[in-house]
Amino acid sequence: MNSRNVLLITVLLAAGTLLQYFISPLGLLLTPDVITAFFCLGIILIRPKIHEALGIGIVAGFLSMLVPGSILPWANLISGPAGAYACYFVYESYRNGRDFAPLFTTFSATLVSGCAFIAVASAFIFGTILSRFGNFGAFIGAYFPIIIGTAVLNAVIVQVLVLLAARVTARGPA
């Protein structure tokens, strides 16, 4: 990855982190992970190698971990790379000739990231989940709508920004 692409990823992750930081005090059960939208945008625009996408996911997971409001902050170190892998593979599968590939890719990557987060949290703090929610179904019922809503929000953000990038730079998705 060249320095221009590293700079683009850095700016996108910083913007996503700031946006997520300002969303975190809203008092939601789960802070919507909008950093995912910005790393998906970066992966779509620069099409890094798979190991570079993994690195982007690790950095994004670390940044998500620093934003307050997570039930298990370090689970982001797993969900971030999982989302980046999903973004890489889904976009590689759907990018040719599909105008809505960024939308579908980001929606899918956010779902993977959110479900990975829930899986890790469930495995490591199941007792806390049961004490807070009464049963596992209530936990899923509370968190899954937030994950779906975040996936929709992230997908729309990325689709709009990809279209704007295509107009402004004549570059668009790679």
Q: What is the tens place of the pLDDT at every residue in 69-90?
A: 777 889 999 999 999 999 999 9
Average pLDDT over residues 108-116: 96
What domains can you pick out in the chain, each with its CATH number?
3-169 (1.10.1760)
8-33: pLDDT as tens digits: 999 999 999 999 888 877 766 667 88
Inter-residue contact 82 to 40 (CB < 8 Å): no
Residue 127: name the closest of 119, 136, 118, 115 by CA.
136
Rounded Cα distance, 160 and 62, in Å:
26
